[in-house]
Amino acid sequence: MRSFLSALVFTATLPASLLAFEKEVRPILEHSCLKCHGGEKVKGKVDFSKILTEQDADAQFELWETVVEVLEANEMPPEDEPHLNAADRKTIIDWYQRRSQASIEAKPTVFKPRRLSGPEYRNTLRSLFGFDLEIAVAEAEQTVITDQSLVLKLLPTDPPGNSGFINDTHRARLSSSIWEQYLHLSNAALEKLFSKNGRTQLGEFIGKTLPSNWQPTALSQDQAERLIRAFAPRALRRPVPEKELSKALSTVSGKQGAALLAATKLELKAILMSPSFFYRGLLMEGEPGKQQAVDQFELAERLSYFLWEDRPDEELTRLTTDGALSNEKTMNAQVARMLSSPKARSLAESFGAQWLEINSLDGLLGKDPIRHHALKTQTIDFLNYLFTENRPVMELIDSKITFVNQGTSGFYGKDRQRMKRYTKAKGIERQRTPNQKLELVHAEGRGGLLTMPGILTMNQGPIQRGTWILRRILGEQIGEPPADTPPIKGSPRGQNLSFRERFELHRSDVTCARCHEKIDPLGFALEAYDQNGQFLRATDRPKKKSNKPAPPVDTSGKLPSGETFETFGELKAILLTKKREPIVRNIVEHTLSYALCRKLVRNDQPIVDAITKNLCENDGTWQDLFQQVANSLPFRETIIETAPISHE
């Protein structure tokens, strides 16, 4: 009776929205929505059949804003399906409003181990051994640029997780094929360590400079023990208990010569093939069933893989011994230090490239490696500048600084005259050249990410450009276009309609209008840039067959929120002011998701809100953002469901 009364009291105190979803909202979804959004038929990647409980609904919290928007516009269900009656529509909208206004507690998620992504594994091996594993490639300037990492050649490409990032490996299974590749790579690394080329690194593990004529079979008992004691904690990214080390040391005890060498390699290989090496967090210590701070070694690991995509270095490891990383000032100092390291370029090459889909250029320009290199590295160098030189977050949208080489200089008019002269080697017709930092003074229509030639090239046409800005910059959730969308028709006979005018006829379908009223103003604002990203003034525009100048391009528009503009420059001003908060929020969400290696959940929203507010009010920088993420509750705390792996 006591437990029944307790349950009754608990139920009575629950917010109405907690009871409303399963009893009121879900039946409506099952009756009116599952035909197109559930089971075998899933339109727009929306599957209501998997949203069964309040917790499921919270996990899809970003979906409901779109659901309510289309319901309020009476756009769903489609015209050929029975529409929701007013009462059902009101039920869903009222539930959403109550739920979105309810107090949300900031909480970490339940801890889940995750395997190192391919780049993380490559970098971890490299920093552990002090050398990279590479394949020999004879590469000419005109060949497609390839990564010479043996690790990335052998390991399968990691698919993006639910977060959209490849470090979100929670669902990436450890297959027998990947296990075999780990074994091959471990053998290759150990062979190189004990070769003449690895002599310096081996000496660092042993703590002694080895002579040039030293042979691996001359390994002594003391050297083998020193090697294992130094290697194990560096590989596992935390101290290893003496009891565990003694097992490995007993294997090499009493051996010498070739037998000692083989036993030592075997123990090192066992460490490299341990799940604790290629999984993150398996050895984290904590109390099951309790929300708690992650241990210092896990915190150092989280920070290092966030900013460097690599294992913690010696300074981070040293700070774990006395708990110094728990201090906010110490953490901020470490973030600043780590951003000044060349390793921080991974933020641009991995985080930035995935968030902004910059790798789309790989497929478009694979046959022209010189142009590919110029367009892609310009964007990466610009992001690296923002991330590592403490630039304001909103400088992503507008900046006086860019990075230019011989392949992109033609886009920048008179400003290119201030570039350092580059002398081309004899016999080379085309050549990849490094970027130079360039201040924009005269270049028309440039400044910031959105007008970079590479971004414009990978998003060709107003619809693709508008969709990219909406999703990647403003963080809007929009579905994919229907598969049966008809192509845009040509001009009717006797009329010379522009693409924009023809598209106005195309988008007259009410089911398409909701998305296009968001997409089109953003995309057509960039119509002054051609498919290669070149800015065309009115005097530059091609003439018609009649030898008359082409009419000026219409770049004007009106956003759904009411703001109007005539040019992309005016739109940029709106993005920097009235759209500042949603842009910053989108940046915060992507950064936090990448740092946590997972999709954000409802309990992360108070953290997103707080960081967004702080950055907006204080004209925050990227360093401010990274520091606030590193000091945030979900980054520093966790909930452990099961007991950690024992060393016993």
Mean pLDDT of 573-580: 97
Residue 566, pLDDT above cutoff 80: yes
156 occurs within a structural domain: yes
- Is 494 found in the same domain as 438? yes
Angstrom distance (rounded) from CA 336 to CA 340: 7
561 occurs within a structural domain: yes
- Is 88 found in the same domain as 174? no
For 245-284, the pLDDT digits (tens) are 999 999 999 999 999 999 999 999 999 999 999 999 999 9
In terms of C-beta density within 10 A (0-12 exposed, 13-18 middle, 19 or more buried), how is residue 403 classed? Answer: buried
Highest mean pLDDT among 7-21, 479-493, 540-554, 573-587: 573-587
With bands split at pLDDT 50, 70 and 90, how would you rate the model's confidence at 95? confident
Which residues form the domain of 69? 2-101
pLDDT at position 540: 55
Structure token pair of residue 364: 């478009």
pLDDT at position 430: 67
Domain limit, last residue, from 82, 101, 120 = 101
Considering the chain, what is the average pLDDT of its residues? 85
Domain limit, last residue, from 73, 101, 129 = 101
Mean pLDDT of 396-409: 95
- Is 411 found in the same domain as 304? no
For the chain, the domain total comes to 3
Pairing of strands 637-639, 291-293: antiparallel
One-letter-per-residue 3-state SS of 380-393: HHHHHHHHHCCCEH
Which of 595, 587, 593, 596 lies closest to 622, judged by CA? 587
Give the whole-number percent of the chain exceeding pLDDT 90. 60
Mean pLDDT of 87-98: 78
Mean pLDDT of 480-494: 60
- Is 212 found in the same domain as 75? no
- Is 519 found in the same domain as 605? no
Mean pLDDT of 145-162: 87
Give the whole-number percent of the chain exceeding pLDDT 70. 80
345 occurs within a structural domain: no
Structure token pair of residue 291: 């929300």
Domain limit, last residue, from 101, 130, 150 = 101
Which of 473, 306, 468 lies closest to 387, judged by CA? 306
Residue 485, pLDDT above cutoff 90: no
The enclosing H or E element of 436 equals strand 436-439
Which of 413, 407, 419 lies closest to 537, judged by CA? 413
If DSSP codes are grouped into helix, strand and coil, which group holds residue 621? Answer: strand
513 occurs within a structural domain: yes
Residue 586, pLDDT above cutoff 50: yes
- Is 382 found in the same domain as 488? yes
Residue 77, pLDDT above cutoff 70: no
Q: Which of 193-197, 219-223, 413-417 has the lowest mean pLDDT?
A: 413-417
- Is 151 found in the same domain as 254? yes
- Is 438 found in the same domain as 365? yes
The pTM assigned to this predicted structure is 0.86
